[in-house]
Amino acid sequence: MEQTGSRDVLGFAVTGAPDVRGATVRVPPQPRAADVDRERGVAPGPAAAGGTARGEHTHSETPIPQPRVEGRHVVQRSSVRGQILAALRTALVSGELAPGEVYSAPVLGERFGVSATPVREAMQQLALEGAVEVVPNRGFRVVERCARELAELAEIRALIEVPVMLRLARMVPAARWAELRPLAEATARAAASGCRATYAESDRAFHRAVLTLAGNEQLLRIADDLHRRAQWPLVGIPVSRARAHLVADAAEHAALLEALIAQDLTVVQSLVREHFTGA
């Protein structure tokens, strides 16, 4: 199955979407009704006596699952929705979906090259996350953030993550922390590029890797959701100021990691609290 090219939506691209036009759905051979009846010890009916019954619905029969074929990927609508959701999240972080603006699912669907349905489903998910709000008969409005909201999110993240990081600092060996150096370096490169979307992804990857060491899946899920919400930008922040903030944030990752490797708990505590206060 071929892969489609990228499609821009408000300037951002979706890649890797499978092209299902003209795809053939193969149905595995089904057993004859007479064979099914014979296995169940039931006398064959009139249709079975004549061979295969065409066009009849055997609602009483147990559905026969379609076997999985190695090397063949079944394209489902949920995968398309996931790709659309990821692209919309990227557009939110980068500011390409502008705060206060209303976007309709059909218009976005045309630019994605898909129907409005997966776009609408993705937008509804974003509404649950608080990124957009439903505007009846029009579409979805991107929520305008205020500094107080971001400060509240930073406070909640600090209440959750700071105690965990301090506990891990006392438990995790230095060699394990050293394995996270590539992730810290990735945040520095992303910050230098000035791309908010790229930095957002690398930033979450670094924090997720740290919290993974706690072995708490619920913690990871909640912390990642809060982190994602905290990455939506404020209105009117100059690009130069935004890049400087990203570079400073990434530098704190590197400093924190080196303190963890050195097992300097005093510096770790100071850097962790400072990191979230700055956020």
**Which class in CATH covers the domain with range 147-278?**
mainly alpha
Terminus-to-terminus CA distance in the chain, angstroms?
A: 44
Q: Indicate the helix (H) or strand (E) that contains 132.
A: strand 132-135
**Model pLDDT for residues 50-101, shown as the tens digit of each residue:** 443 333 333 333 332 333 434 333 334 558 889 999 999 998 988 888 889 9
Predicted local distance difference test score (pLDDT) of residue 164: 93
Q: Which two tokens stand for residue 29?
A: 């051979």
Range with the poorest average pLDDT among 42-46, 126-130, 162-166, 218-222? 42-46
Where in the chain are the domains? 7-18+75-142, 147-278
Q: What angle do CA 5, 115, 144 make, to 5 degrees?
A: 90
**Which class in CATH covers the domain with range 7-18+75-142?**
mainly alpha
Predicted local distance difference test score (pLDDT) of residue 146: 84
Report the candidate in 122, 128, 117 with the shortest Cα–Cα distance to residue 97. 122
Chain centroid offset of residue 9 CA = 18
CB count within 10 Å of CB 271 equals 19
SS (H, E, C) 93-119: HHCCCCCCCEECHHHHHHHHCCCHHHH
